[in-house]
Structure 1
Amino acid sequence: MSAAQKLRELLARPEIIVIPGVYDCLGAKLAQQSGFEVVATSGFGIAASTLGLPDYGFLTATEMLYSVGRIAQSITVPLIADLDTGYGNALNVMRTIKDAVQLGLAGVLLEDQEWPKKCGHFEGKRVVSLEEHAGKIRAAVEARGDSGLVIIARTDARAPLGLEAAIARGRAYIAAGADVLFVEAPQSVEELKAIASAFPDVPLVANIVEGGKTPEISTAQLQQLGFKIVFFPLTALMAVTHVMNACFQHLKTQGTTANLPDLVTFKDFQELMGVPEFLQTEKRFAAEK
């Protein structure tokens, strides 16, 4: 069964799907080990970890596809990839989607911001016309062929145009063939309710960014409202940043790691990376002496 088919089976279940955001292979493997059945890449995290830059559209299509392709290969659960705006017009979107299928991605996010885009919870976002993004969604549907790739249409129109415009765009994107709708950065529980009420039969995404614009309500509450997916795109990135900073500060001030708490053991890390299996494989092909 393909990764896309696995994701579609998860979407068919009645339960809400909790999806952590990852930005590298290590995080993806840890998420899978923790029992998550699907993970998603964070463009915010990939920009920070690979470029040391904010989510301001600095990543090229080549850089993003390289990163998400490596992550998809490192795990056996489905991966949803944040592919920004698709990196151009409808023709560019078709190229991007064909590459996504070849990389074995389960799903992709395509947003309606102008390029260069920004993090959905930053100020100063601008969006393309409804018609342009609906055309890009139609192009993505055509380009995926019979792969089953799940297309998640994201609109960032709430901030610049208001909630009613965002909902209108959502309707157009679903009509264009998107499988899932993601209205980014609603600013209250009432707005979350309005989105859910407007799309009773459409799988909906809620995006919880700690300190962002959307209220941090529970997964159970989101399911009760009618949401199908809840992303936690930056939680692991923020946690790792805190722990890594504490580690470096400790090493700088103490000059030793002898009493540094909560380190994963070298043995456990080797297990996570599959070192014992690689050693066995190496032995099978070793030249006889």
Structure 2
Amino acid sequence: MTWLARHDPVSAGRRFRDRLNRPDIYRLPGAHNGQAALQARAAGFEGLYLSGAAMSASMGLPDLGLITIEDVCFFIRQVAGASGLPVLVDADTGYGEALNVMVMTRRFEEAGAGAIHLEDQILPKKCGHLSDKRLAAPAEMAAKVAAAVKARRDMVVIARTDALANEGLDAAIARARLYLQAGADAIFPEALTDIDLMRRFAQGLPGVPLLANMTEFGRTPQLTGAELQDLGYRMVIWPVSSLRVANHAQQQLYAALRDHDTTAPMLEQMQTRAQLYDVIDYFGFEALDQSISKSVLPEPR
């Protein structure tokens, strides 16, 4: 069914919350555009993640808090709209202070987000797995969390803390407790550097839904969803994986085109026209308008 004919009476926030409340871990692969979102849905995933780093890189920009609320809404509309799945969106530091956070929350929810996470860095912010991150005061971050909770309708609000590297585990847990008091539904402890720290963080917040970040080439060890569930985590994201794979393939394509003056050497690595049309439900869209005759695909040559 195309998204034009799909009408879900339950909000994305409610669907995200209902899935989070199930006992098995919520697996949220990153999807950096509508095509990736459709492919993740076809693979059987029940929710998606929209990474600030992936959105920035898609625009040719570094992940330093340079993209705007409207930039992100463009990505939310295509990822949530194409897939129909609840999407967790990276809201960075909230695009300002309390009132700005409230505007962001409303805009993202209107665009189709099911959940957001806010982080306790200050601008210019950095990827959570890089060095020398600068932190907001705990009370300032708590005020942003409270503002997002006040502005949302059904959306899940997750508070991310980057405090481990600068302040240590106990301070990171204390920050998380403050953010929960401000109304956060879940906590995202970023860049925990070993399994013991991950376990101890979960033990410090018993019963609190926690999110784990399984980004590649970062500071956190790579674990499976099942292993994270055993450690006490309820959500897991693979934020930039789809973009990394797509970018690597594109790099190979352009090199082959430069070297061979044709794309012929890359044909076996390409999604075919028929496969693309199947993913985007091309003929389903045609069927919605009886004035469009059904297309016939060209024979492979």
TM-score, normalised on structure 1?
0.94
Deviations 1:82-124 (A, max 9, x none): 1111101111111111112212211011111101211111222
**Counterparts in 2 of 1:66-145, with a 5 A limit?**
66-144=74-152
1:267 aligns with 2:274: yes
Q: Given that residues 107 and 152 in structure 1 are in contact (C-alpha distance below 8 angstroms), is that contact kept between their aligned partners in structure 2?
A: yes
Structure-2 separation of matches of 1:39 and 1:151: 15
Structure-1 separation of matches of 2:281 and 2:168: 49
**Counterparts in 2 of 1:242-253, with a 5 A limit?**
242-253=248-259
1:257 aligns with 2:263: yes
Bigger shift: residues 166-175 or 254-263: 254-263
Q: Given that residues 6 and 78 in structure 1 are in contact (C-alpha distance below 8 angstroms), is that contact kept between their aligned partners in structure 2?
A: yes
Aligned to 1:43: 52
1:156 aligns with 2:165: no
Structure-1 separation of matches of 2:250 and 2:292: 39
Structure 1: give runs of 5+ residues left out of the alignment: none
Aligned to 2:191: 185
Structure-1 separation of matches of 2:137 and 2:193: 22
Aligned to 2:25: 16
Aligned to 1:29: 38
After TM superposition, give the deviation of residue 196 of structure 1 in Å: 0.8
SS of 1:210's partner is coil
Structure 2: give runs of 5+ residues left out of the alignment: 1-9, 294-301
RMSD, matched Cα: 1.4
Q: Given that residues 183 and 205 in structure 1 are in contact (C-alpha distance below 8 angstroms), is that contact kept between their aligned partners in structure 2?
A: yes
Aligned to 2:3: none
* AA aligned opposite 1:31: A
After TM superposition, give the deviation of residue 154 of structure 1 in Å: 0.5
* AA aligned opposite 1:175: Q
SS of 2:27's partner is strand
Structure-1 separation of matches of 2:52 and 2:186: 19
Aligned to 1:208: 214
After TM superposition, give the deviation of residue 281 of structure 1 in Å: 2.3
% identical equivalent positions? 38
Q: Given that residues 23 and 43 in structure 1 are in contact (C-alpha distance below 8 angstroms), is that contact kept between their aligned partners in structure 2?
A: no
After TM superposition, give the deviation of residue 284 of structure 1 in Å: 4.5
After TM superposition, give the deviation of residue 70 of structure 1 in Å: 2.8
TM-score, normalised on structure 2?
0.90
Q: Given that residues 32 and 242 in structure 2 are in contact (C-alpha distance below 8 angstroms), is that contact kept between their aligned partners in structure 1?
A: no
SS of 2:101's partner is helix
Aligned to 1:196: 202
